[in-house]
């Protein structure tokens, strides 16, 4: 069986650039689709292997940004909080993204492909510096109108440029008004795309950890001690007891359908999933 492809890709998402500023609909960016599309084009072009890290830069403290929570958790995207130091500071996210990218280039030499999801020309010097360091670059944006025009110099400097096609929502045609008798009341159904419950998000974290952290596996069983460490790091104020489980083992087995062990992982074989 072929081994896993090398994790040598880093994705940096300039959220404000994608939704065109906080005066617009900030929830309009389909984050999950964007990341999946980038990973596909990276694989198809042979530019890189698997994603090692993904970071999204925005003012995540805004209440209207909460709709992204499930997508961030499901695709292991780290939200980076941006604070403007004064009222006129419009480039705080750009500066933070540039600093992070250069830090990754210096501290993680195995990262070979840097994906900048933005059309902002301010990132031209960053790409030139990454090239000087022997790194490859991919600039991506979406077809959504609010994403704006991509800077031509940024597009030309990148090793590869890609537009993620996001279909426009279908036009809604108003139907003629017809009087009907009131329908019997029915229990409300959960709408598609509605925010997940906290329990569902907690379980989504577990499955994301199982996918990306090989230290969780011991001969096909889940190392419950290591799982507890990861959950405490991600959810400092929430535990399995929040959802009525007496132990983490009970939550993992009954709530997530997992088989667990208390034996810690040892050696390189511990990361193999049975």
Local confidence band at 106 (pLDDT 50, 70, 90 cut-offs) = very high
Q: Is 41 exposed, middle or buried (0-12, 13-18, 19+ CB in 10 A)?
A: middle
pTM metric for this prediction: 0.59
Residues 81, 39 contacting (CB under 8 angstroms): no
Residue 271 pLDDT level (bands cut at 50, 70, 90): very low
DSSP secondary structure, the chain, as one string: -PPPPPEEEEEEEEHHHHHTSTTS-GGG--HHHHHHHHHHHHHHHTS--EEEEEEEEE-TTSGGGGGGHHHHHHTTPEEEE---SSTT---HHHHHHHHHHHHHHHH-TT--EEEEE---GGGHHHHHHHHHTT-EEEEEEES-GGG-PPPHHHHHHSSEEEEE--PPPPPPPPPPP---PPPPP-PPPPPTTPPPPHHHHHHHHHHHHHHH-GGGEETTEEEHHHHHHHHHHH-TT--GGGGT-SSHHHIIIIIT---EESSPP-SGGGG---
Structural contact between residues 259 and 222, judged by C-beta atoms closer than 8 angstroms? yes
Is there a contact between 33 and 166 (Cβ–Cβ < 8 Å)? yes
More confident residue, 266 or 88: 266
CATH of 7-164, one of 3.50.50.60, 3.40.50.150, 3.30.1180.20, 3.40.50.1010: 3.40.50.1010
Q: What is the pLDDT of residues 249-269, one digit of tens each?
A: 988 888 888 898 888 766 443
Domain boundaries, the chain: 7-164, 198-271
Task: Report pLDDT for 169.
Answer: 60
176 pLDDT above the threshold of 80? no
Residues ≥6 apart with Cβ < 8 Å to 112: 8, 9, 48, 135, 136
pLDDT mean over 66-93: 79
* Model confidence pLDDT, tens digit, residues 119-173: 999 999 999 999 999 999 999 999 888 887 899 999 999 999 999 988 766 544 4
pLDDT at 172: 45
- Examine the pLDDT at 67 and tell me if it is beyond 60: yes
Segment of 16-20, 66-70, 98-102, 195-199 carrying the highest mean pLDDT: 98-102
């Amino acid at each position: 069986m072929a081994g896993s492809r090398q994790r040598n890709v880093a994705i940096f998402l300039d959220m404000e650039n994608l939704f065109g500023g906080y005066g617009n609909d900030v929830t309009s960016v389909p984050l999950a689709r964007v990341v999946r599309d980038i990973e596909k084009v990276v694989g198809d072009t042979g530019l890189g292997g698997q994603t090692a890290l993904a970071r999204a830069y925005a003012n995540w403290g805004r209440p209207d940004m909460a709709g992204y929570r499930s997508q961030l958790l499901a695709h292991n995207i780290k939200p980076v909080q941006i604070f403007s130091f004064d009222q006129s500071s419009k480039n705080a996210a750009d500066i933070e993204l540039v600093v992070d990218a250069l830090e990754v280039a210096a501290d993680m030499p195995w990262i070979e492909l840097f994906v900048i999801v933005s059309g902002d020309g301010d990132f031209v010097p960053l790409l030139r510096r990454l090239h000087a360091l022997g790194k490859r670059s991919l600039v991506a944006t979406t077809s959504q109108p609010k994403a704006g025009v991509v800077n031509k110099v940024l597009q030309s400097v990148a090793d590869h440029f890609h537009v993620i096609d996001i279909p426009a929502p279908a036009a809604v045609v108003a139907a003629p008004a017809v009087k009907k008798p009131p329908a019997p009341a029915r229990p409300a159904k959960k709408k598609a795309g509605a925010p997940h419950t906290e329990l569902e998000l907690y379980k989504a974290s577990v499955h994301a950890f199982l996918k990306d952290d090989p230290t969780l596996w011991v001969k096909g069983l889940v190392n419950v001690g290591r799982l507890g460490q990861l959950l405490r790091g991600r959810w400092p104020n929430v535990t399995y007891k929040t959802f009525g489980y007496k132990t983490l083992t009970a939550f993992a087995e009954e709530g997530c359908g997992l088989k667990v062990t208390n034996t810690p992982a040892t050696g390189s074989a511990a990361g193999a999933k049975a």
